[in-house]
Amino acid sequence: MDSLYINRELSLLEFHKRVLAQAEDPNVPLLERLRFLCISCTNLDEFFEIRIAGLKQRMEIGAPAQGPEKIPAQEVFGRVQPEVASLIASQYALLNDVMFPELAEAGVRFVQSHEWNDEQQEWLSDYFDKQVAPVLTPLTFDPSRPFPRILNKSLNFIVRLHGRDAFGRRRHRGMVQAPRSLPRIIELPEELSRPGEHNFVFLSSVIRVHVDRMFPGLDVDGCYQFRVTRNSDLYIDEEEVSDLVRALEGQLAASRYGAAVRIEIGHECPEDLQEFLLDHFNLQEEDMYLVEGPVNLNRMSTVCNIGDRPDLLYPPFTQGMPDELLTDENIFEVLSKKNVLLHHPYQSFAPVIDFIAAAAVDPNVLAIKQTLYRTGADSPIVDHLVTAARAGKEVTVVVELMARFDEAANIALSNRLHEAGAHVVYGLVGFKTHAKMLLVVRREHGELVRYVHLGTGNYHHATTSVYTDYGYLSSGKPLGEDVHKLFLQLTSLTEATGMTRMLASPFSLFPALIEKIQRETTNALAGKEARIIAKINSLNELQLIDALYVASQAGVKIDLIVRGICSLRPGVKGVSENIHVRSIVGRFLEHSRVYYFYNDGDEEFYCSSADWMERNLLRRNESCFEIRQKAMKDKIRLHLELFLGDNCQAWVLNNDGTYNRLSPGKGEERVSAQETFLANLTTSN
């Protein structure tokens, strides 16, 4: 152990291993295991597009060591690359040795080309001629026809050729690009499958088998799939930007053809063609991954949605609804009397959508203000905001255009809101708006009343069924005033001060967290009970980690539930012996952020949009709201205790940076937080 801090990239890879472990877990339903395998591959794609790309850039310019552990980029890459190679090998071994056989036994068969019978071959030949060939463009190369530009993560084939073309010139290599409009997985008709089975064929197999038809007159002596992953991080120079939308649109187009950082090639591809591709993309052998299977595993996720095989999926459940909302009263009448805490996905996100829908058509509502980070392409929330704007209400939407991989969708929804007459404000370059806030101003009895929704997760109706988050609905006057101040901060760029119920990045949240950790430290040194619990997605902020180390040395008991990256090293003698870190990985993506401080018995509970990362605390606009009602505090405390008692889906962080998965010991009660929430699902969850 060279440092008190764990490298961010290596920690993130450990998370990717935990996700892959879900795909390997025989206790997980089979199609859900396939889904986890696809998620694992998607995660790794992003790892290359952002993290590996960043490492390569730092290596190229000789940038100084970054991160709290201060490891040079070259050394980090040297440690990361074999880990990545091992992870990819594990993915394909799982697919070929376990998933394919078990899926076939269950009646979900991926039929390899050598297994096609005569009827299947005939159908696929016709399918190629009618559905595939018309949109393919075969290419050969010469000085006037250079190697084509390859789109990021697209499916391509390098083809070995022999003979002369129609113009008498010898041809040795060709290429075929598969348009993204073509489905990567093809389901064979029912009559070509065994009774009760679903039979699927990879598009890559169909193209490879029939590629000779694309090069008539030439001999095809091999066709090999490959896929290039490119640097996809966007850079906007704040000093040079005069039109953020236009600049971002330009960057989006350029990012599709960023610098290559990885190439995946079918394992049977000859060495000379491997070298040709490496040379063309300016990659080294260490950047090449030979795979035994399709190069785009994540496209297999479409198979996970088979409608007639519920036995291979997680059991469905009906989302609950808080008792407070099971009434004939409208949402404003309910919130005028009491606050409501929502726990997604166990409780429905519908009340939040209904809240916006009611506000959009209520004649007494004068204004709606909302932050949008990720919403999805067909968002009902955006529909209601458009309705409100067209009805003449003052609608202000703070849209974060720089939400990674959702930039294009956010530009589109911004244009739609603009056209409806809403005020659209873009997040400040360099300080992303990641806060989750909604404010409704309503006239009641001659006075203006503020209603708010605050959350730990995005206003995305689809992800709320698979992400765990908290949402809070209230008409409390102090809270409404705080949210009003935060919207002023976002629109006028003036600091929100004097808040009594909220903390916010980049101004008040970070110093408040440091102060609260130091308060627990002081209490511990005075012989008082001291306790900190944080449930977050990531932790890498150096000053905060150091404050936790000092607290641990003072005797503060610290439990951290960190889903992903954790740069803090627990269990170091004399430094972090009182800090325990665990990660929960299960059916749902643990996304909620909760901070708990014992505070000498006057317990404090906060829910937030912010992780304990440098970017969230110092370079983003984040919201953090206090939970004060006893019943809600008791509920959240119970939830935290369940996560800390989980011995089925919990992984414990060792001080060497690796994780061990917990399992119930002999005679020990089995505890799974997510399963418990589902088992106890009632209208008052």
**Confidence grade of residue 257 (pLDDT, cut at 50, 70, 90):** low
Q: For residue 6, count other CB atoms closer than 10 A to its CB.
A: 28
Q: Where are the beta strands (DSSP E) in 103-197?
A: 108-110, 137-140, 155-162, 173-178, 185-187
The partner residues of 437 in beta bridges, in order of sequence, read: 454
pLDDT in tens, 499-515: 999 999 999 999 999 99
Chain centroid to CA 645: 26
DSSP code per residue over 585-611? -SSSEE--EEEEE-GGGS-EEEEES--
When pLDDT is averaged across residues 136-164 and rounded to a whole number, the result is 87
In angstroms, the CA 665 to CA 351 distance is 41
**Confidence grade of residue 300 (pLDDT, cut at 50, 70, 90):** very high
In angstroms, the CA 260 to CA 283 distance is 7
When pLDDT is averaged across residues 421-428 and rounded to a whole number, the result is 86
The upper half-sphere exposure of residue 603, i.e. CA atoms within 13 Å in the direction of its Cβ, equals 17
DSSP code per residue over 12-81? HHHHHHHHHHHHH-TTS-HHHHHHHHHHHHHHHHHIIIIIIHHHHHHHHHTPPPBTTTTB-HHHHHHHHH
pLDDT in tens, 598-649: 999 999 999 999 999 999 999 999 999 999 999 999 999 999 999 999 999 9
Q: What is the length of the chain?
A: 685
When pLDDT is averaged across residues 48-61 and rounded to a whole number, the result is 89
User: Among 315, 314, 306, which Cα is nearest to 109's?
Assistant: 306
Q: Collect all residues with Cβ–Cβ distance below 8 Å to 577 and sequence separation of at least 6.
A: 552, 571
> Does residue 368 contact residue 439 with C-beta atoms inside 8 Å?
yes
In angstroms, the CA 342 to CA 351 distance is 9
Please report the pLDDT score of residue 404 as a whole number.
Answer: 59
pLDDT in tens, 224-248: 999 999 987 744 444 444 444 444 4
Please report the pLDDT score of residue 198 as a whole number.
Answer: 95
Conformational region of residue 550, where left means phi above 0, alpha means psi within -120 to 50, and beta covers everything else: alpha
**Confidence grade of residue 252 (pLDDT, cut at 50, 70, 90):** very low
Which residue matches tokens 């996970």?
304
Q: Where are the beta strands (DSSP E) in 163-259?
A: 173-178, 185-187, 198-202, 219-230
In angstroms, the CA 514 to CA 519 distance is 9
Question: Which has the minimum average pLDDT: 171-175, 288-292, 315-319, 348-352?
Answer: 171-175
Q: Collect all residues with Cβ–Cβ distance below 8 Å to 338 and sequence separation of at least 6.
A: 324
Residue 426: is its pLDDT beyond 90?
no
Read off φ and ψ for residue 460, nearest 5 degrees. Answer: -125, 105
CB burial of residue 186 (10 Å; 0-12, 13-18, 19+):
buried
pLDDT in tens, 377-421: 688 999 999 999 999 999 999 988 765 555 677 777 888 888 888
Choose the catalytic residue: 210, 343, 384, 434: 434
CB burial of residue 573 (10 Å; 0-12, 13-18, 19+):
exposed
pLDDT in tens, 523-566: 999 999 999 999 999 999 999 999 999 999 999 999 999 999 99
pTM of the model as a whole: 0.92
* Comparison of pLDDT for 85 and 59, the residue scoring more: 85
CB burial of residue 233 (10 Å; 0-12, 13-18, 19+):
middle
When pLDDT is averaged across residues 101-107 and rounded to a whole number, the result is 96
Please report the pLDDT score of residue 148 as a whole number.
Answer: 84
Which residue matches tokens 């458009």?
386
**Confidence grade of residue 438 (pLDDT, cut at 50, 70, 90):** very high
Arithmetic mean of pLDDT over the chain: 91
> Does residue 472 contact residue 347 with C-beta atoms inside 8 Å?
no
Please report the pLDDT score of residue 247 as a whole number.
Answer: 43
Q: Collect all residues with Cβ–Cβ distance below 8 Å to 582 and sequence separation of at least 6.
A: 559, 560, 561, 562, 643, 644, 646, 650, 651, 652, 653, 662
Q: What is the CA radius of gyration of the chain?
A: 27
Question: Which has the minimum average pLDDT: 76-85, 326-335, 411-420, 676-685?
Answer: 676-685
> Does residue 499 contact residue 451 with C-beta atoms inside 8 Å?
no
453 is catalytic: no
Q: Which domains does the chain have, with CATH numbers?
A: 8-312 (3.30.1840.10), 323-496 (3.30.870.10), 505-679 (3.30.870.10)
In angstroms, the CA 418 to CA 8 distance is 39
**Confidence grade of residue 2 (pLDDT, cut at 50, 70, 90):** low
Please report the pLDDT score of residue 250 as a whole number.
Answer: 45
Chain centroid to CA 113: 34
**Confidence grade of residue 684 (pLDDT, cut at 50, 70, 90):** very low
In angstroms, the CA 640 to CA 635 distance is 9
> Does residue 226 contact residue 208 with C-beta atoms inside 8 Å?
no
